Amino acid sequence: MIRILVCWLLTVSSLLAQPRPVLTDKMPQKPVFTDLAAALKTPEKVYRMQLSGLHELPAEIAQLPNLQELDLSNGYLQTLPDNLSELKQLQVLNLQSNRLTTLPESVSGLEGLRSLNLNLNPIEKLPESLGQLNKLEQLTAIQTQLHTLPESMGNLSKLKTLNLHGNQLTALPESLGNLGELTWLDAGANKLTQLPESVGKLSKLTAFSVEGNGLKELPVQLGKLDKLTSLNLSANQLTALPESMGSLAALKTLRLNENNLTALPESLGQLTKLESLNLKGNRLTTLPESLGNLTSLEAINLESNQLKALPESVSKLTKLENLNLAANPLEKLPDGLGNLKQLSSFQLSDHHLPAAQLSKARLSLSGTLVPQWVMNGW
């Protein structure tokens, strides 16, 4: 039951987090038809249609020459008619929560399609012809049964958003690097053990998540993503990070929690725009002195590591608001903690700090925003 609840929460969070479907400016002003028979009385005036609960999509749907948005979510569809490809004006197709196991090759005929939602279908494979949808900007396939992706996906030259969260993927195609317009990529909760080197070619990528996979190392080319602002690498099997990580100059959020990291590269200190760093649940014994260069940092989570001390440079993090040191065998704290005037949350537990160190820390932190009752609980 707990596992089902967790999976449901992950699905919901992924659905909420993804960018909204692309729509034309005129579509929101058009009425939504919910009855196909009524729509067929004036087929040329039908631009938007919603048909939920269908067991079969009638072939007559192809008689709507100006249809731009088709919502078939929450149904029982197992197949789609081939003549769906006759909807040349279709821009948005929502197939979420059906029983589709595949898409017809004829899907390539939807030459105007900009957004395709396949979430929550038992689809195991996508057709090679998908790569012919050269106007597609958004593709979401959350919690399907995809095991592989076609190499032709690299032909989706307009694609901006790709959400593959919660599938069975063991690899991403090298052709992924051809998606030059991609800004948002989520391949979390799959079975990936490595990333293609071509990921470094995604020059416009701003958000990238591969949390919950089996990654043991990262390609050096990852450091070329100089527009990346959010990177989620949590819950993998990483033991080290490449020095090239320091080249992610735009990065603001970095999640590395629940890995097997024993050390961090000195180059991490080059991430001067970083605001949030999560390193909870690793095997870190030391931190680089360059950590003090992260002058934009507002929150750092170091809970459940093997740290005995912190570098003195931590006292330079003057924008820091949240510092979590819980569950570390700490024997010493930096002398300059009092410099962290914005600090309002400081977690400290299961440590090895002598009484004198604790008293000194309380005195130093008295000039911060950390409540006295919190410090009294150490």
> Mean pLDDT, to the nearest integer, of 249-278?
98
> Mean pLDDT, to the nearest integer, of 12-17?
47
> Mean pLDDT, to the nearest integer, of 11-35?
63
Residue carrying the six token digits 């160190």: 357
Does pLDDT of 8 surpass 60? no
Burial of 336 (0-12, 13-18, 19+ CB in 10 A): middle
Q: What is the pLDDT of residue 374?
A: 83
> Mean pLDDT, to the nearest integer, of 1-29?
48
Would you tell me which CATH number, out of the four given (3.90.1280.20, 3.80.10.10, 2.170.190.11, 3.50.50.60), belongs to the domain 216-378? 3.80.10.10
User: Mean pLDDT score of the chain, rounded to an integer?
Assistant: 93
pLDDT in tens, 67-109: 999 999 999 999 999 999 999 999 999 999 999 999 999 999 9
Does pLDDT of 2 surpass 90? no
Residue 70: strand pairing partners: 49, 93
Does pLDDT of 288 surpass 60? yes
Domain boundaries, the chain: 28-171, 216-378
Over the Cα atoms of the chain, what is R_g? 25
pLDDT in tens, 296-325: 999 999 999 999 999 999 999 999 999 999
In one-letter notation, the amino acid at residue 44 is E
Looking at 86-164, which runs of residues are DSSP E strands? 92-94, 115-117, 138-140, 161-163
Does pLDDT of 16 surpass 60? no
Does pLDDT of 24 surpass 90? no
Residue 207: strand pairing partners: 184, 230
* Residue 361 · residue 339 · CB < 8 Å: no
Q: What's the CATH fold of domain 28-171?
A: 3.80.10
Q: What is the pLDDT of residue 270?
A: 98
Query: Can 28-171 and 216-378 be said to share one CATH topology?
Result: yes
Put simply, whether the predicted model's pTM sits higher than 0.85 gets the answer: yes
Does pLDDT of 7 surpass 80? no
Q: What is the pLDDT of residue 1?
A: 40
User: How far, rounded to the nearest angstrom, does the alpha carbon of residue 11 sit from its chain's CA centroid?
Assistant: 12
> Mean pLDDT, to the nearest integer, of 168-188?
98
pLDDT in tens, 123-167: 999 999 999 999 999 999 999 999 999 999 999 999 999 999 999
The mean-pLDDT minimum among 44-48, 186-190, 374-378 falls in 374-378
Helix (H) or strand (E) holding 362: helix 355-365
Q: What is the pLDDT of residue 376?
A: 81
pLDDT in tens, 227-257: 999 999 999 999 999 999 999 999 999 999 9
| DSSP-assigned letters across all residues of 217-281 | ---GGGGG-TT--EEE--SS------GGGGG-TT--EEE--SS------GGGGG-TT--EEE-TT
Does pLDDT of 332 surpass 90? yes
Report the alpha-carbon distance of residue 180 to residue 320 in Å, rounded.
35
Q: What is the pLDDT of residue 243?
A: 97
